[in-house]
Amino acid sequence: MGQVLSHGAHKTAYEIQQGHDLRGKLAIVTGGSSGIGLETARQLVHAGAKVIITSPHLQRARECATNLSTTARGIDASNIIPMELQLASFRSVRKFVEDVKAMNCNIDYLILNAAVMGCPLWRTREDFEYHLGVNYIAHVHLTQLMLEHMIHQTVPSRILVVTCRSGLEGSGVHLADMNFRNRVYDAGAAYHQSKLALSYFAMELAIRLDGTKIVVLLVHPGIVPTSLSRWYGPLSLIYAGLAASWTKTVQQAAATSLYACVQKSLENKSGSYLQDCSVTKMPGRNSGNPHLWSKVWEMTQDMIDGAQIDSNCNSLNPGIKIMDWFWSRYIDPVLHYCGYVRGGKDSKEADKSN
Ligand SMILES: NC(=O)c1ccc[n+]([C@@H]2O[C@H](COP(=O)([O-])OP(=O)(O)OC[C@H]3O[C@@H](n4cnc5c(N)ncnc54)[C@H](OP(=O)(O)O)[C@@H]3O)[C@@H](O)[C@H]2O)c1
């Protein structure tokens, strides 16, 4: 591993979960079918938790669940629950929340981890720019619906918002045109904006939930080559090969999410920003600007309230489906073979050691 990583950055999710007993706890990991989310789910299950792993493709979530239960030694297969969640559709988000509520369980950890990066100018079913809609607005909608249930729980719970440091340090949320209707589209800026808006949401949510048993934590996993770069096509292969020498492993990138779940001292640290398994100052020039957080919250609420719900969530932009098919058919198997995506290159060793 490169010298650039701090001490906490070398810790793995496996090391963090050691010694913690999460039996009886339920975690939801959005985007638990790949990369950091999959590793987070794997280690939560190893610690005894029941984990809902979501994917926009039910089949993919099921394959991950089967894989997890056959490769990870000594875990209870019934503790892994694969579910479909397409964040590009409010209809799918609402169905997911209804299905979870019907399970009538406490939700101990809600981990907002799923994301897309580098997409062309696509729009979700409710006509939001794709990064904004998937990474941010759908997660806000999901959290608000889930909170109707979580707020009545008598047990403490945590909401983890997985962010990206470069988003926090980026050019900001474009309040006049969040949806790229009248400005030149830039996929990098769209990704960073969505992660920054999600981070503001976390900070505002922590304020609004003050005095409740719900702790909100902002988590930056660090940099690791995963399927996140899938929309860059074959370029991601080159990136995965080059970056692996200086970035974290998936095991290390998932460590801070595990830390945010199990670390007792975070009970009274709602609204904290975490990276490399420790609380640190949130980067970015608006890291201390509650006025902006509440402004973005109000604007987002208006967008959610005014969204035209499309009842047919299977008819997303055909470009998305073609790219997704191309990725899973050609790119993913190669990266998977090299050990970079899905489980991560060091997951098998971790499974054996459990
Ligand atoms: N990797 C990094 O260097 C890095 C750095 C900073 C922050 N992060 C953050 O870490 C988190 C995890 O990223 P990762 O690197 O593990 O990426 P990843 O391997 O690509 O995982 C992304 C997950 O999101 C799911 N997803 C994609 N589109 C979706 C949609 N429309 N609806 C619902 N779920 C969808 C994917 O499901 P399928 O695979 O089943 O389609 C997958 O499970 C993200 O929030 C990312 O922003 C990553």
Three-class SS state of 109 = strand
Report the nearest-CA residue for atom 40 of ligand 1: 55
Predicted local confidence at residue 1, as pLDDT? 39
Query: Do the Cβ atoms of 279 and 9 come closer than 8 Å?
Result: no
Query: Is residue 2, in this structure, part of any structural domain at all?
Result: no
Nearest to 335 by CA among 232, 221, 195, 192: 232
Return the structure tokens found at 201.
């949401």
Residue 74 CA to residue 351 CA, distance in Å, equals 9
Q: Per DSSP, what are the bridge partners of residue 214?
A: 157
Ligand 1 atom 38 nearest Cα: 55
Predicted confidence at residue 91, as pLDDT, reads 95
**Ligand 1 pocket residue status of 13, Cβ below 6 Å:** no
57 lines ligand 1 (CB under 6 A): yes
Rounded distance between C-alpha atoms, residue 199 and residue 328, angstroms? 30
- CATH number of the domain bearing residue 36: 3.40.50.720
**Is residue 134 in contact with ligand 1, taking CB distance under 6 Å?**
yes
Cβ-Cβ contacts under 8 Å for 275 (sequence gap 6 or more):
8, 165, 219, 220, 221, 222, 256
CA 226 to ligand 1 center in whole angstroms: 8
CA distances from 183 to 71, 123, 306 (A): 48, 15, 22
- Domain for residue 344, yes or no? yes
- DSSP track, 130-169: HHIIIIIIHHHHHHHHHHHHHTT-SS-EEEEEE--HHHHT
191 catalytic? Reply is yes
Residue 31 lies in a domain: yes
Neighbours of 48 (CB within 10 A): 16
Among 14, 109, 136, 191, which one carries the catalytic annotation? 191
Ligand 1: residue of 112, 226, 249, 332 to mutate (most ligand atoms within 8 A of CB) is: 226
For residues 229 and 188, give the distance between their C-alpha atoms in angstroms, rounded to a whole number: 11
Q: 259 near 138, Cβ under 8 Å?
A: no
CB-ligand 1 contact for 86 (6 Å cutoff): yes
Has residue 333 been placed in a domain? Answer: yes
Q: Is residue 316 part of a domain?
A: yes
Q: Structural domain of residue 152, as residue ranges? A: 7-353
Asked whether residue 72 is domain-assigned, the answer is yes
Q: Tens digit of pLDDT per residue, the chain (354 long)?
A: 333 456 678 899 999 999 999 999 999 999 999 999 999 999 999 999 999 999 999 999 999 999 888 877 778 889 999 999 999 999 999 999 999 999 999 999 999 999 999 999 999 999 999 999 999 999 999 999 999 999 999 999 999 999 999 989 988 999 999 999 999 999 999 999 999 999 999 999 999 999 999 999 999 999 998 889 888 777 777 776 777 778 899 999 999 999 999 999 999 999 999 999 999 999 998 888 999 999 999 999 999 999 988 745 445 666 677 777 777 677 666 666 665 555 554 455 455 545
Residue 27 lies inside a defined structural domain of this protein: yes
Work out how many domains the chain is built from and give that number. Answer: 1
Q: How far is the CA of 34 from the centre of ligand 1 (A)?
A: 7
CA–CA separation, 165 vs 222, rounded Å?
Answer: 8
Amino acid identity at 162: V
Please give the distance, rounded to the nearest whole angstrom, from the Cα atom of residue 154 to the centre of ligand 1. 31
Instruction: Report pLDDT for 309.
Output: 84
Q: Is ligand 1 within 6 A of the CB of residue 164?
A: yes
* 1 is a domain residue: no
User: What are the strands, taking DSSP E only, across 165-256?
Assistant: 214-220
**Does the CB atom of residue 284 touch ligand 1 within 6 A?**
no
